[in-house]
Structure 1
Amino acid sequence: MDAPYWSSVDTVEAFSPGLYLVVDAEGRIVWLGMAAGDQGVTGRINSHLAEPWKRAVFHRVWVAPAHDRIPLQVLGAAEGWAADALDLRTRMPHRTWPPSAAWPAVIGQYTG
């Protein structure tokens, strides 16, 4: 698993599952998501860029790659935890993220 890194949205190369945080040209958070498909974060970002408003606003993406076999439940809990840690549920009420209440229990299952 690679360390988290920043990339331009149009050149991101992250074919593993993971979390991603997108900012606009001014560095404001505009999206937080997770990717678990065959093309990983790169595929998910590319699908976002098919929408004109996202193509116009998305500038850079921070990628936190995950292990290829990460359970979807764990990835979802991580996304929910990140949304809470960044206070995005309040700042972006039009978006929804998985609940993070189960974060300690879910992580405990996989960290032994």
Structure 2
Amino acid sequence: MDKQKILIVDDSEINRALLADILEDQYEVVEADNGAAAVALLSQHRMDFSLLLLDIMMPEMDGFEVLSYINRYHWNDTFAVIMISADDSPANIRRAYDLGALPGRNLK
């Protein structure tokens, strides 16, 4: 049986490596180092993914911009999104919920 595919989007290579190490036995892990790279990947392969682990604070395109883009085109109808960030402020948690994401745990 094929493993489900997860996309990890974080500008921190250490965080991506940590998550990939935890998940790679049970899932096929794909990584993107910023939001723009994630959108480019999802625009061509979104049906391949079951889950997106998405950092909030990134260069080029932050996690909220990525999530807004995903919502605009209804890509989140095919996969779940969990936000991961060191910034666990109530405002960011509320914004992530409002955009349809599930909260993740603080990694930084």
Q: TM-score range, shorter-chain basis?
A: 0.3 to 0.5
Of the two, which has the highest radius of gyration?
A: 1
TM-score, reference length from structure 1: 0.33
What TM-score, normalized by structure 2, do the two folds share? 0.34
Name the structure with the higher helix share. 2
Higher relative contact order (CA 8 A, sep 6+): 1
